[in-house]
Structure 1
Amino acid sequence: MYAMYFPPFPPGFLGSGKMALPTPPISPLTIINPNSPSPPSTAASPRTTVVLPGLGNNSGDYRGLCWTLRDGYGIPTVVAKVSRLDWFRNAAGLLDSNYWRGTLRPRPVLDWYLERVAEAVSEARKLCPQGGSLALIGHSAGGWLARLYMEEFGWSDISLLITLGTPHLPPPKGLAGVIDQTRGLLDYVEKHCAPAVYTSELKYICIAGRYIRGARFISNPNSDIIDHIDNNKGASELVITERIVGSAPVAPTMRTRFIGQGYKQAKITYIWLLLSLVCGKADVWGDGVVPEISAHLDGALNISFDGVFHSPVGSDDILRPWYGSPSVVQKWINHLLN
């Protein structure tokens, strides 16, 4: 089988004091599209959920998220089975002349991933109550791969797509120093996959993180650079800090400069193993890998969270929570519950 189903914690496991899931407060979310309707707050039968791993991640990275969904909220959850070595399969794209022209198509290069998703969806259907629907949660590249899956395999039994830190938009063309390291894959998704919607039949919810703001390598003295969001600050204080006119800007650090270059253009560590998508700008907010403006889609319900890190790898539920940390999940879980 190509799907991994995470069972509940064994009795008393959380009581051991070793693996308890903390729920510290985080800054309130910002809804970018306030006119979109909100799902009902009352929980009936939750959607059975399939988690799609991001580039370079493996299935085990989402164990905590799956346990939070199942044990905390009673949501049956399956994660597509992916190992880190699986991502080296993408190297097959190098043999395609379209790779070098920047017009690479997702298939057949990504067929292996789509097959893993199909297996996970099949497993999730067995857990789904009669008449129920499925939800897809795509982390990072798993979000646009979910869109590709729905386009290629259909979405008749899928009613919700939640993307977490997904680089949805292809990099802008014609900018010096900006190269599309997906070699055309996101162009294909943008042109050939159905646009995002927020309807009673199908909802797209795109969640972005505002963990750190990037900086130019050659900084503009008139720009306001803020290193990162302190979770101990209130949202109003953060807004004031960013918008004070004539105040002395915080000096960019080497860290923010490197983060900014990641936001500006895709950076690669061996054949898409690690990928951070681009928006063509360095001095923008993002989750440390994907810029906020690249993680939203026209037509979707777009949400941004302050202080949220991109990946489960390198995250900390208290000091550096990611999208799947318990304290962050509680902010978007209402969209997953019917």
Structure 2
Amino acid sequence: MPLPTIIVPGYLETAIAYRQLEQSLVQLGIPTITVPLKRRDWLPTIGGRPVTPIVQQIDRTVKQMLQQHNSPQVNLIGHSAGGWISRIYLGEQPYAARGQVISSCWKAYPLVANLITLGTPHISQERWTRWNLDFVTNNYPGAFYKDVRYVCVAGKTIFGARKPGCWLAYSSYQLTCGQGNTWGDGITPIAAAHLEGAENIVIAGVRHSPRSPGIWYGSPEPLQAWMQYLL
């Protein structure tokens, strides 16, 4: 029986956007739920402020699934920012934000078998997100917990360039990894979406968000490339 699986939404995203992915996994026999985030839940985190309210909701959802399925562990699927926020949740260090020490420390790594990140920017040059990402990188570099399998999925879809149709990708890649002329999913460059020591995957043709036109990481065909880690 596959472990229960929890989808962690990307920044400012709601659970509704992941309903199709959730249903696809359930149809494959994988009990799945999305952290029940609403747009207003993200408001306290805007401007690089602590993501503590999101991590607390992840924790409640994990505990719910462990109890409901009488399981010792879960899988986490973190889309975009949901991936690095999940890495905070796994960790043992008190989460401090902009010099303010917060006593919250979830130490959830024994509860997680697999962490799959989809288009997650694991690094950033952008000043509003850099503090949080530096906290993760400095405390939990790479595939940090050896008993957790990290699977990092990147998209090779749009090459960033200073020309029509590629400007958004160029700007986003530049803010993320410091280089605009590179490949990515239109928002996250491949260079930022992978972690040292993880099982790193590149899928051609996928766009960043479930709200993007065309296919994204959770669409039926790309799903075939990474769902094996949940079975």
**How many Å separate the matches in 2 of 1:258 and 1:158?**
35
SS in 2 for 1:312: coil
Offset of residue 81 of structure 1:
1.2
SS in 2 for 1:182: helix
Matched, 1:125 2:66: yes
Match of 1:191 among 132, 135, 138: 138
**How many Å separate the matches in 1 of 2:226 and 2:70?**
23
**How many Å separate the matches in 1 of 2:19 and 2:65?**
16
**How many Å separate the matches in 2 of 1:258 and 1:150?**
32
Match of 2:196 among 298, 308, 311: 298
The one-letter amino acid of 2:215's match is P
Q: Do 2:114 and 2:150's aligned partners in 1 also have CA atoms closer than 8 Å?
A: yes
**How many Å separate the matches in 1 of 2:131 and 2:145?**
27
Unaligned runs of 5+ in 1: 1-44, 94-98, 100-105, 172-178, 218-252, 266-277
Q: Which residue is 1:254 aligned to?
A: 164
**How many Å separate the matches in 1 of 2:13 and 2:7?**
12
**How many Å separate the matches in 2 of 1:198 and 1:82?**
26
**How many Å separate the matches in 2 of 1:205 and 1:127?**
25
Deviations 1:55-83 (A, max 9, x none): 02100101000000001x10011211111
Match of 1:165 among 96, 112, 119: 119
Matched, 1:285 2:226: no
Structure 1's 329 and 188: CA in aligned 2 closer, same or farther, altered over 3 A?
same
Q: How does 1:22-101 map to 2 (within 5 A)?
A: 45-71=1-27, 73-91=28-46
User: Which structure: larger Rg?
Assistant: 1
Name the one with the larger helix percent: 2
Offset of residue 197 of structure 1:
4.9
- RMSD of the TM alignment (CA)? 1.8
Unaligned runs of 5+ in 2: 92-104
Q: How many corresponding residue pairs?
A: 217
Q: Which residue is 2:83 aligned to?
A: 143
TM-score, length basis structure 1: 0.61
Matched, 1:153 2:51: no
Matched, 1:325 2:219: yes
Structure 1's 88 and 128: CA in aligned 2 closer, same or farther, altered over 3 A?
same
Structure 1's 112 and 197: CA in aligned 2 closer, same or farther, altered over 3 A?
closer
- Identity percentage over the alignment? 36
**How many Å separate the matches in 1 of 2:61 and 2:53?**
13
**How many Å separate the matches in 2 of 1:292 and 1:195?**
15
Structure 1's 281 and 311: CA in aligned 2 closer, same or farther, altered over 3 A?
same
- Relative contact order: is structure 1 or structure 2 higher (C-alpha 8 Å, sep ≥ 6)? 1
The one-letter amino acid of 1:125's match is L
**How many Å separate the matches in 2 of 1:202 and 1:186?**
20
SS in 1 for 2:166: helix
TM-score, length basis structure 2: 0.88
**How many Å separate the matches in 2 of 1:125 and 1:206?**
24
**How many Å separate the matches in 2 of 1:148 and 1:191?**
11
Structure 1 runs (4+) greater than 2 angstroms displaced: 126-130
Q: Do 2:208 and 2:217's aligned partners in 1 also have CA atoms closer than 8 Å?
A: yes
Matched, 1:336 2:227: no
